[in-house]
A and B are shown apart, each in its own frame.
Chain A
Amino acid sequence: MASAPLSDSRELIFVIERSGLTLDWSPADVASDPEIARVERAFYEEWLRDPDMAWLHAGFRKPLLPESEGFHFIWEWSRQFVEALTRVDNLEAQRMAVHLKPSATAIREALSRTPDFPGQHVLDARWLENFWSRLEQAFHTEMTHYAGTVFEYFLAQGADIQPQGRIFFHLVESKDADTPFAFLATYAPEESGQGRHVPLKNALTAYQDAPHQLLTLLSSVSRAAEDSGFLAALLDSGEIFQPLKLSHQDAYRFLKDVPLYERAGIRCRIPKWWKGTASRVRATVAVGENPPSRVGTDAILDFRVGLALGDEPITEDELRALLNETEGLAYLKGKWVEVDHQALQSLLETFESLTQRADSMTFLDALRFELYHGQASEDDDPTPVQISHGAWLQDVINRLKQRTLDTSFNLGPEWRAELREYQERGVAWLWQMRQWGLGALLADDMGLGKTVQVLALLTALRQNGPLSALLVVPASLLGNWTDEMEKFSPGLKGVIAHPSSLGQSGSQEDLDDADVVMTTYSMVQRYDWLRDRTWDVLVLDEAQAIKNPGTKQARAVKALSANFRLALTGTPVENRLTDLWSLFDFLNRGLLGAPQEFSRYTKELAQRPEGYGPLRQMVSPFILRRVKTDRAIIQDLPEKIEMTARATLARRQAALYWDVVEHFNRQLEKVEGANRKGLILATLMKLKQICNHPDQYLGQSLFDPQESGKFERLKEIVETIRDRRERVLVFTQFREMTDPLSTFLGSTFGRPGLVLHGQTPVPERRRLVQAFQGPDYVPFMVLSLKAGGVGLNLTQANHVIHFDRWWNPAVENQATDRAFRIGQTKNVVVHKFVTVGTIEEKIERMIRDKHQLAQDIVPTLQEKWIGDLDNETLMQLFRLETRESSVAL
């Protein structure tokens, strides 16, 4: 089996731990850009040498890896520390004594932007504060060793910002009509207390004997003058050393360059109105006062457009009059207004185009406006359009953002499952999203019961009238869905749209009386007629299948038409921006704009200090994601969740299975007594081997994962575990399976794990357990059931996979308890593998149906009980049951 090439397809991941942060490599789907790979490697090495120092240094510079959400989040937090440093009054005097604490607001904002990365649940206010205190330690260390000034240190770090120096530029309004502004440059003498200023000119004589200090003072002015023509002229003429009267044009040039001065470490005291919105004209939009006649993303909302200066409305004529003023500042209605021709012109165009589309503002447009522009606070919102919501829209947006739920659904008498409290909330959320016609992404962690929530929604909808729902799922999960639907909601009539049940030329008529039609991603491409009707509900399971918008599969799925679209996924989707785009292109087309528009937007976000926060806030109303570890949300989750992972026989497996059963059938007539029992047990063993992998049965060593349904299923589960950076125990009863499994898992995880079986010497076992329980990330351990089933303490794992089955709950539970025992801090998920239609599934069903008997029968299953069955019953048990979904095509 080919192992994953690690070198060119790995990415740096950022894992939050209680005590700090770990960096590690994870296999990536696509080869990364060589330049990014180089930057990642360099940062990783710097981090290895001294983690806190690496983050401190990163904070001085622009984000190295703007595409990585994890990096961006931590970088941003380090950056805020550096920015706080620059705001310290007289940092030079403080140096080693500087003590900084993040503000409560900063912490709250950071927590609201937390991306979904491994270990995220331990990230809280304390973690963020600790991170700052470690950066502070690192800064103190630097200051102990650095001989130069703090200012020089910032420059040496290549910082694009400077600590606040001692130079101040002041701009105030004056009474003079011709020169309505006044300018002065001062410096704060070193020994001075708070707020004492001396004209800058005096520095020239005061520091005659301290050339280095004078150099520091002058160089920040020189540096700023390199970028600002206005300042360069002042410096050149010597006017910088005099108090000046400025015209409004000069004041405007000065104000425009303020960011350049501040970056060079010069503090600017300027009128408040310049920083806020008070001096800028904006378009105002009031939308959605009344509910639209019908709900849905394309519903038309009522819409009013206007213009305002600060809080005061102005007319279109007044805006045009402003455009006739010279560029700079103009005095209008008792205040100064910025006259920026380009900005005003584009505002006028925006205003006109808004006015024109007043009758075509859809619900989705309004949401987009809100989500793109709505989160900036009033004061520093740079966008020229201010949206205000009418009563109805405001109500919808509030309820969307707060996830106010609609619990008016009714599951009816035929619903068989007990919903947990969080599942009930999930259904209510889906119900509400359907009311609004907004596409929803249910992204709960594996094991939280996404299937049951969807089935509950469908059942509730069925209570209200006829239902036509289409479920698109991977072939390997058709069995799961059928079973759960039968079990939880037998009242729903389901049909499988698949050649195995409809034949190659299946048609629409076959589906007419079904409530729920289930099909696979590949059948969506084949059965054109699935696109001929508008489904009430369209559900995609494992929706990451359409993450690549260019594939035929994604295009075919997106061409389906439905009133309510729902996508399910257990992997954290928020981390890959392009995946997100494709999913939302399915759920709410247009919300994230066209692909080019979206990629422009995300690039722009990468440059912004708040990073991808706005994007996350934009999509979060449409995503419901609960994680197992989040006890605040999920209080009633059992500590151990058992799931059946259903696999489907691959083509070659099915053929071999048939052969063995046929052979058995012929032999069965001929043997008796001990021979008969031997034949039964041997056949049982062969069938189990085939279910694991054809190569195990054939004694070959290739183990191509595509030839086994179980390997495919294992991959799906393990990728999720990998993305969450959790650990898994994989049990098999066959020692010869331990190596192939380990190789396969190693390539899926992108790093090796451990193997423990009967031949492993005892001292070696102790070492393996220590390695697995240790601080380094060891993603998996493969154990033979007999050797690993007892005694060991492997609580670092919170997933247990029973790859093949002993059919003895006691033995399996004992093995599970390697992870599920004292010392386990997470919920444990147990995945029990079963191959659909085979002996595995039949015995499992038998155990489930006769739960009472199971305890007595099963331990001796292979010894006695099975030998006592008559030939006909035996054949029923062994024969491959070709249910619709049991063979993947």
Chain B
Amino acid sequence: MSRYDDGNEFPAYVPVAERRARNAEAVKYLTQKNPHIHPIVVTGRTLASTWWGQAWNKNLERYADFANRIGRGRSYVRHGAVIDLSLNGGMVTALVQGSRQKPYQVEVAIEPLKAQTWSAIVKASEGQITSLSDLVQGRFPKTLATLFSDHGGLFPTPAQIHMRCSCPDWATLCKHVAAVLYGIGVRLDEDPTLFFGLRNVTVNDLISQAVADKADTLLKKSEAKSARALDADNTEDLGALFGIDLDDGNKP
């Protein structure tokens, strides 16, 4: 899908610079009324630079329902047409500057992650202790990529995305909604932790559950007595053998 396919809706060609200027003007105007607006700004040459943003966009583009129409959102978001976008859990509200004076209102609602999918992901994370520790520091460990994105993973299917736009054309995934969907990707690029909220789950859940499961597994393993286990009558003797002050961890 080419981005010059806007022919019908832009009868007169509007140069990019003019569009950008118009969008910037809209942001300025809106800011006067509401200082809390949060426009989507694309600075680099690509829409997304982190794994999160890229995976989000890739997920959108692989569905046939979207593939035909979503491309039009790219240039929109790139030129700054999404003049406000806020995420609140799975609820996304946005303002998009179209060809009319007044910006269109867009709403996107994303369904919470199915409990079944979530517990499968938690289960699989158990073996990835170092990756989880990386995740806690805000780095994205490659080992989790497959886990999070395979078979949908954490990402929503088109059926799980509900959208609405105040433009006359919204029933068929208008470019305003498309722009907002890409806008979400940009926002995830800025702050990946928002993603978990989008699906109504938390990183802490993931960590706590995965770590607790891991501890359980390890505990079970540790019960199986090894053939080369050292026989020690008590903690004190063991400490003496190793020349350390050993106790069982209970406070005296």
Contact = CB atoms under 8 A, between A and B. Distances in A.
Interface of A: 148, 152, 155-156, 168, 170, 172, 174, 179, 182, 184, 186, 189, 191, 195-199, 201-208, 211-212, 214-216, 218-219, 222-223, 226, 236-246, 269
Contact of B247 (A196, A208, A222): A196
| 6 interchain residue pairs of minimum CB distance | A238-B221, A241-B222, A219-B133, A243-B230, A198-B249, A211-B211
Contact of B246 (A197, A205, A208): A197
A197 B219 contact: no
B41 to A, nearest CB: 23
A238 B225 CA distance: 9
B191 to A, nearest CB: 15
A500 to B, nearest CB: 65
Given A148-B137, A204-B222, A242-B225, A211 B247 contact: no
Contacts of A204: 215, 218-219, 222
Candidate in B133, B138, B221, B247 with the most chain A CB atoms within 10 angstroms: B133
Contacts of B134: 155
A238 B224 contact: yes
B42 interface: no
Given A148-B136, A211-B211, A218-B129, 17 more contacts: A172-B241, A195-B245, A197-B246, A199-B238, A199-B248, A204-B219, A205-B219, A208-B215, A211-B207, A215-B129, A222-B129, A222-B130, A238-B218, A239-B226, A242-B229, A243-B241, A269-B244
Nearest to A247: B228
B232 interface: yes
B120 interface: no
Contacts of A219: 129-130, 132-133
A202 B249 contact: yes
Contacts of B225: 242
Given A242-B230, A244-B228, A218 B221 contact: no
Given A197-B244, A242-B225, A182 B230 contact: yes
B172 to A, nearest CB: 45
Interface in B193-252: 207-208, 211-212, 214-215, 218-226, 228-230, 232, 235, 238-239, 241-249, 251
A66 to B, nearest CB: 26
Contacts of B208: 211
Given A215-B136, A222-B129, A189 B249 contact: yes
Contacts of A203: 249
A626 to B, nearest CB: 52
Nearest to A158: B139
Contacts of A242: 222, 225-226, 229-230
Contacts of B229: 239, 242-245
Nearest to B205: A211
Given A182-B242, A199-B248, A237-B221, A246 B228 contact: yes
A170 B244 contact: yes
A152 B218 contact: no
A724 B130 CA distance: 49
A174 B242 CA distance: 9
Interface residues of B, number: 41
A241 B218 contact: yes
B133 A155 contact: yes
Contacts of B223: 238
A195 B246 CA distance: 9
Nearest to B212: A211
A148 B139 CA distance: 13
Contacts of B232: 243
B130 A196 contact: no
A170 B228 contact: no
A783 to B, nearest CB: 49
Candidate in B138, B232, B241 with the most chain A CB atoms within 10 angstroms: B241
Contacts of B238: 184, 199, 243
A345 B12 CA distance: 83
Contacts of A174: 241
Interface string B114-138: 0000000000000001101110111
Contacts of B247: 196-198
A214 B211 contact: yes
A155 B137 contact: yes
A829 B34 CA distance: 69
Contacts of A197: 239, 244-247
A196 B130 CA distance: 27
B193 to A, nearest CB: 12
A182 B226 CA distance: 14
Given A170-B242, A172-B243, A212-B207, A156 B133 contact: no
A239 B228 contact: yes
A239 B223 CA distance: 9
Contacts of B139: 155-156
A222 B215 CA distance: 13
Contacts of B138: 156
7 contacts: A168-B244, A197-B244, A197-B246, A199-B246, A215-B133, A219-B130, A242-B222
B136 A202 contact: no
Contacts of B242: 170, 172, 182, 184, 269
B249 A218 contact: no
Given A218-B214, A242-B230, A156 B137 contact: yes
B58 to A, nearest CB: 27
Candidate in A205, A219, A246 with the most chain B CB atoms within 10 angstroms: A219
A214 B133 CA distance: 10
Candidate in B222, B239, B247 with the most chain A CB atoms within 10 angstroms: B222
A377 to B, nearest CB: 27
A269 B246 CA distance: 14
Nearest to B232: A243
Contacts of A244: 226, 228-230
Contacts of B251: 191
B247 to A, nearest CB: 6
Nearest to A215: B211
A36 to B, nearest CB: 26
A186 B239 CA distance: 10
B207 A186 contact: no
A152 B239 contact: no
A202 B232 CA distance: 16
Nearest to B239: A197
Contacts of B219: 201, 204-205
A308 to B, nearest CB: 30
A202 B251 CA distance: 13
A216 B245 CA distance: 23
Interface in B64-105: none
Candidate in B224, B229, B230 with the most chain A CB atoms within 10 angstroms: B230
B141 to A, nearest CB: 11
Candidate in B132, B212, B215 with the most chain A CB atoms within 10 angstroms: B215
A147 to B, nearest CB: 10
Contacts of A222: 129-130, 133
Contacts of A148: 136-137
A239 B225 CA distance: 8
Contact of B245 (A156, A196, A199): A196
Contact of A208 (B132, B136, B212, B249): B212
A316 to B, nearest CB: 37
Nearest to B133: A219
Contacts of A226: 130
A243 B248 CA distance: 14
Contact of A152 (B137, B224, B249): B137
A148 B212 CA distance: 20
Given A211-B207, A243-B238, A223 B130 contact: yes
A232 to B, nearest CB: 12
Candidate in B137, B223, B229 with the most chain A CB atoms within 10 angstroms: B137
Nearest to B206: A211
A194 B232 CA distance: 24
B218 to A, nearest CB: 6
Contacts of B248: 198-199, 202
Contacts of B130: 219, 222-223, 226
Interface in B14-52: none
